[in-house]
């Protein structure tokens, strides 16, 4: 039985890129992470519409899509700022006072880590905590 | 120690819980003679979703055993439940982390409620210590589906 292809959510050209990716991977359920990557790269974040669309297109339960999208650090459910500040909180950096660096950044920008400043999108800033970037020494 | 960590991770207060006396976590703690928890409680901000017509999910009592996820996927076949997030931020979710009542995949079969070992999933209208779970259907259903339990 051939299952009808769900229509793209909007006329947005970026959906074509996503659809091409899914087609190349044969609309298989195990291509979920790969497809989420494509959506993340072309839209910058994953909104509810995108998640629901992927669930329908790849025949994966919506809860599973959401679970995968929230599990991996790379995926973001909120629009990201134009610039991202990453503060390494690995053990070596932490010993050298990374927590103070993070606090200073938070004080300077007035946001908590993981948030995005409320400026217009060009100057938007968002902070991220990270563990071990491998730049020690 | 694992039991104590489980208790410390969420807000388990047996005396006001619907599953008081019918809770597997509570029974295990009694069996092991647990008297107190050596770890600082995390007191996470966990919500209660009572939007469903018949059932309630209280994340404060969830121990993330994922039995609801498994029974929904493997027995009912709906896969309404899944786990989101990582570490202490993990939660069981229905569909796209939406209120249970708006879930399109949920069939309201109540299997998740019956297999939940604690009072995290319970039927509406049950008061303290009234939520006894009925699991008799499980062996029959697994047998009928030709699976090995």
Q: How does pLDDT run across A10-30, given as a tens digit for each residue?
A: 778 888 888 889 889 988 888
Q: How far apart are alpha carbons A100 and B57 in whole angstroms?
A: 39
Cβ of A65 under 8 Å from any chain B Cβ?
yes
ipTM score above 0.90: no
Closest-CA distance, B84 to chain A, in angstroms, reads 4
Q: How confident is the model at residue A8 (pLDDT cuts 50, 70, 90)?
A: confident
E strands, chain A, are 83-88, 125-130
Token pair belonging to A58: 């790849």
Q: What is the DSSP letter of A31?
A: G
Instruction: Kindly list the residues from chain B whose CB atom is less than 8 angstroms away from the CB atom of residue A62.
Output: 95-96, 104-105
Instruction: Kindly list the residues from chain A whose CB atom is less than 8 angstroms away from the CB atom of residue B94.
Output: 63
Cβ of B105 within 8 Å of Cβ of A63? The answer is yes
Token pair belonging to A8: 């793209």
Instruction: Kindly list the residues from chain B whose CB atom is less than 8 angstroms away from the CB atom of residue A51.
Output: 96
pLDDT at A122: 46
Is residue B60 within 8 A of residue B10, CB to CB? The reply is yes
A137 has pLDDT over 60: no
Is residue B34 within 8 A of residue B1, CB to CB? The reply is no
């Amino acid at each position: 039985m051939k299952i009808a292809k769900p229509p793209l959510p909007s006329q947005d050209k970026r959906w074509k890129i996503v659809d091409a990716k899914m087609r190349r991977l044969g609309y298989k359920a195990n291509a979920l992470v790969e497809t989420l990557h494509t959506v993340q790269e072309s839209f910058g974040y994953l909104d509810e519409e995108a998640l629901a669309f992927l669930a329908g297109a790849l025949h994966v339960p919506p809860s599973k899509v959401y679970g995968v999208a929230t599990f991996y650090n790379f995926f973001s459910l909120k629009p990201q700022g134009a610039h991202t500040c990453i503060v390494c909180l690995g053990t070596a950096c932490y010993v050298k006072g990374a927590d103070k660096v993070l606090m200073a950044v938070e004080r300077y920008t007035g946001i908590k880590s993981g948030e995005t400043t409320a400026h217009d999108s060009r100057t938007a800033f968002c902070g991220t905590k990270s563990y071990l970037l491998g730049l020690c020494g | 120690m694992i039991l104590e960590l489980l208790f410390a991770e969420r807000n388990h207060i047996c005396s006001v819980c619907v599953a008081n006396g019918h809770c597997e976590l509570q029974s295990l703690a009694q069996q092991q003679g647990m008297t107190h928890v050596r770890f600082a409680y995390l007191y996470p901000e966990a919500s209660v979703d009572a939007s469903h017509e018949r059932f309630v999910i209280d994340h404060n009592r969830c121990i993330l055993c994922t039995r609801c996820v498994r029974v929904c996927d493997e027995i009912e076949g709906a896969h309404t439940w899944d786990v989101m997030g990582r570490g202490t931020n993990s939660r069981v979710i229905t569909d796209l982390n939406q209120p249970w009542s708006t879930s399109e995949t949920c069939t309201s079969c109540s299997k998740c409620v019956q297999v939940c070992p604690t009072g995290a999933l319970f039927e509406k209208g049950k008061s303290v210590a009234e939520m006894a779970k009925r699991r008799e259907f499980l062996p029959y259903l697994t047998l009928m589906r030709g699976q090995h339990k």
